[in-house]
Amino acid sequence: MRSALFAAVLALAACESTMNIQTTQIVWMEWPAEVQTFDPFRTRLVVSQPCALIRGFEPSPAADAVSVTFAPYFLVDNHPVYCLDGQRYTSDFTVNVPLDTAGTAPGLPLERVYEMRGATPYSNCPACAFLNTAPWVSFGYVTVRPTTPPTTVRNAAGSVSAQRDSVGCTRIRPSGLLGPNAEIVLENPPDTTAQWFAFVHGYIYEPAAPVCGEATVFHLTGQYTGG
């Protein structure tokens, strides 16, 4: 119902010269590792915000027989807004203050594994072709079961920065998010590098024993640092 209402508002806005549609990119995504057939499921989305007067946001989820895709966009005011980009002001700029929000994926009817897709900065990276299911990037997978699955594991993927502290604990945070609550301990760091940036795949769960004093950790299953 909310998507239908937003679509109606969008159609009205398209007829007026004061509104524009601004597509955006997903920096980070989290979702249940397993869901039950036909049950919509909540997905965390961290998206880039445009330099504009924002009037609305739509995660724009869709599903087919093999995948779930989020193609988020903002409804923005048509009047230019000038933002500081380095040493100059510009109206063609995406602010590096992502929006931490959510979208609801539609219920999936088939008992199988579906791919989770979305638009990211890696969509335009030729060297990242193995990540792409053009024009989308693969964030991972969700498994659909006929009965209610456990909810203890969340899959996650996206662009992160990682920092290793003085006692050897590595924590990651989605790019651009600030504050201590944005960090999560990395259970299995790939090396001892003090700081790195990457597009990562993995899952969030509670291990049998705390890691670096934390009960919830991110387990890395893949990373890409090129491009």
pLDDT at 50: 84
* Residue 113 sits in the same domain as residue 131: yes
Clarify whether residues 129 and 25 are in a common domain: yes
Q: Is residue 158 part of a domain?
A: yes
169 in a domain, yes or no?
A: yes
**Contacts for 123 with CB less than 8 Å, ≥ 6 apart:** 25, 132, 134, 135, 136, 137
Same domain assignment for residues 96 and 124: yes
Is 100 a member of any domain?
yes
Do 65 and 166 belong together in one domain?
no
Structure-block tokens of residue 75: 């409804």
> Digits of tens for pLDDT over the chain (227 positions)?
444 444 444 444 444 557 788 888 999 999 999 999 999 999 999 998 888 888 999 999 999 999 999 999 999 888 767 665 544 455 554 555 789 999 999 999 999 999 999 987 654 444 444 444 456 889 999 999 999 998 899 999 999 999 999 999 999 999 888 888 899 999 999 887 889 999 999 999 999 999 999 999 999 999 887 54
d(CA 197, CA 194): 11
The percent of the chain in helix, strand and coil, each rounded to the nearest 5, is 10, 50, 35
Considering 82, 113, 145, which residue would you say is the last residue of a domain?
A: 145
CB crowding 87-115: b at 16 or more within 10 Å, else e: eeeeeebbbeebbeeebebeebeeeeebb
Instruction: Report yes or no on 195 lying in a domain.
Output: yes
Asked if residue 99 belongs to a domain, the reply is: yes
The last residue of a domain, from among 145, 169, 191: 145
Q: List pLDDT tens digits, range 168-200.
A: 999 999 988 888 889 999 999 988 788 999 999
Task: In whole angstroms, give the CA distance from residue 178 to residue 98.
Answer: 10
**In this structure, are 107 and 208 located in the same domain?**
no
Q: What is the pTM of this model?
A: 0.82
Q: Residue 204, class by beta-carbon neighbours within 10 Å (0-12 exposed, 13-18 middle, 19+ buried)?
A: middle
Number of domains in the chain: 2
53 and 134 housed in the same domain: yes
7 lies in a domain? no
What per-residue confidence (pLDDT) applies to 1? 41
Among 83, 115, 145, identify where a domain stops. 145
Cα–Cα distance for residue pair 176/97, rounded to 1 Å: 6
CATH code, domain carrying 177: 2.40.50
Q: Are residues 59 and 141 in the same domain?
A: yes
Q: What is the pLDDT of residue 122?
A: 55
Tell me: do 30 and 118 sit in the same domain. yes
The verdict on 56 and 116 lying in the same domain is yes
C-alpha–C-alpha distance, residues 150 and 35, integer Å = 8
Quote the domain boundaries for residue 91.
19-145
The verdict on 29 and 140 lying in the same domain is yes
